[in-house]
């Protein structure tokens, strides 16, 4: 059985009212968990929404045990603007959970997502990507390592610190899920100014393998043998603005301390403004710019993990 739920969002002053659209798929193979899959909390990370669509299109409901609750676009106004921040209040939705019923627009949206989505699921899979320019490839290990491994990325990240340290933040949907004891996986896969089809396919395959891991779908779980667990991820930002040209190894590859990650080139004089080097001993490439992109000082340049 399939149903689509439309939960109304607050009206905007221009007379527009959007909806939080959720797809409910009830399986025909008996009891099982209610698995929530969310995407596009950040509107410029649309690869996750495409993977959710492919999952829903190709799923044989009779083979599913339990129930899926899918939210392909959590942040519709940010999604329409292709922006990480909300164009309504310039807030990052994934820093304001659990939200406030009478707070900023993003806080009201977060409150609604907690009530209408998180409050109805037993497992959370939250899909993210690199966004408009950089590309990323890793999975968080939070409170269900087997489920995180089942997504299939080579690089896994088990944070060693609490909220606010490294790339672990408070106010995220996953942080509230963990506080409530919900098995949670946050994925980071895809993004950038490149063809997203391979990353959509990898997200889709990862979701199917996770559903097998949860016994929501039949079949053997694919186990990857070369996975690396990182305990720290450093964000390396440019200090100059211009064209960022990457020279680092591919994502998922090792990189030695001091190796060049990329260079910032002036679009006007064509001179090299900055050489960006890897500060992490025995690092692993987590996030990179796979095309020549225009960046500002302080933008996301690279992410390098340490085991």
Rounded CA-CA distance 27/49 in Å is: 21
User: What is the residue-level pLDDT of the chain in tens, covering all 307 positions?
Assistant: 999 999 999 999 999 888 999 999 999 999 999 999 999 999 999 999 999 999 999 999 999 999 999 999 999 999 999 999 999 999 999 999 999 999 999 999 999 999 999 999 999 999 999 999 999 999 999 999 999 999 999 999 999 764 434 456 899 999 999 999 999 999 999 999 999 999 999 999 999 999 999 999 999 999 999 999 999 999 999 999 999 999 999 999 999 999 999 999 999 999 999 999 999 999 999 999 999 999 999 999 999 999 9
Nearest to 233 by CA among 275, 278, 269: 278
How big is the chain by its Cα radius of gyration, in Å? Answer: 20
Which pLDDT value is given to residue 231?
96
Q: 2-228: what CATH class? A: alpha beta
Residues in Cβ contact with 130 at an 8 Å cutoff, skipping those fewer than 6 apart: 45, 136, 188, 190, 191, 192, 287, 300
Nearest to 178 by CA among 202, 147, 210, 208: 147
The two structure tokens encoding residue 153: 């990325």
What CA–CA distances, in Å, run from 64 to 43, 171, 216, 221, 258? 29, 32, 5, 15, 49
Domain extents in the chain: 2-228, 231-306
Rounded CA-CA distance 283/121 in Å is: 36
Which pLDDT value is given to residue 168?
65
In the DSSP assignment, the letter for residue 67 is: E
Nearest to 231 by CA among 151, 286, 190: 286
Q: 231-306: what CATH class? A: mainly beta
Query: In sequence order, what DSSP letters do the residues of 118-133 get, joined into one string?
Result: GGG-SEEEEEE---SS
Nearest to 159 by CA among 132, 140, 172, 176: 140
The two structure tokens encoding residue 258: 């001091």
Give the count of alpha carbons within 13 A of 190, CB side only. 25
69: left (phi over 0), alpha (psi -120 to 50) or beta: beta
The two structure tokens encoding residue 296: 């500002």
Q: Where are the beta strands (DSSP E) in the chain?
A: 2-11, 17-26, 34-39, 67-71, 123-128, 135-140, 155-157, 184-190, 228-230, 232-236, 242-246, 254-255, 260-265, 272-277, 283-288, 293-295, 302-306
């Amino acid at each position: 059985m399939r149903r689509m739920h439309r939960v109304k969002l607050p009206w905007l002053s221009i007379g527009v009212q959007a909806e939080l659209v959720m797809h409910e798929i009830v399986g025909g193979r008996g009891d099982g968990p209610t698995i929530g899959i969310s995407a596009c909390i950040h509107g410029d990370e649309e690869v996750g929404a495409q993977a959710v669509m492919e999952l829903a299109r190709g799923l044989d409901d009779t083979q599913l045990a339990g129930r899926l609750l899918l939210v392909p676009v959590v942040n519709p106004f940010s999604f329409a603007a292709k922006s990480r921040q909300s164009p309504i209040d310039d807030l990052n939705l994934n820093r304001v959970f659990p939200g406030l019923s009478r707070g900023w627009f993003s806080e009201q949206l977060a409150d609604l997502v907690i009530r209408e989505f998180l409050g109805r699921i037993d497992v959370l899979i939250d899909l993210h990507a690199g966004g408009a320019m950089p590309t990323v490839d890793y999975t968080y290990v939070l409170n269900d390592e087997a489920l995180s491994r089942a997504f299939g990325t080579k690089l896994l990240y088990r944070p060693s610190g609490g909220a606010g340290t490294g790339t672990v933040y408070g106010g995220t949907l996953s942080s509230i899920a963990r506080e409530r004891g919900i098995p949670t996986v946050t994925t980071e896969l895809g993004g950038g100014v490149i063809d997203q089809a391979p990353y959509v396919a990898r997200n889709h395959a990862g979701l199917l393998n996770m559903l097998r891991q949860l016994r929501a779908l039949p079949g053997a779980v694919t186990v990857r043998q070369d996975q690396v667990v990182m305990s720290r991820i450093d964000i390396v930002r440019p200090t100059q603005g211009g064209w960022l040209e990457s020279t680092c190894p591919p994502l998922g590859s090792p990189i030695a301390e001091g190796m060049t990650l990329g260079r910032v080139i002036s679009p006007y004089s064509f001179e090299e403004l900055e050489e960006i080097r890897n500060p992490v001993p025995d690092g692993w490439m987590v996030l990179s710019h796979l095309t020549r992109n225009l960046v500002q000082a302080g933008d996301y340049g690279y992410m390098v993990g340490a085991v």
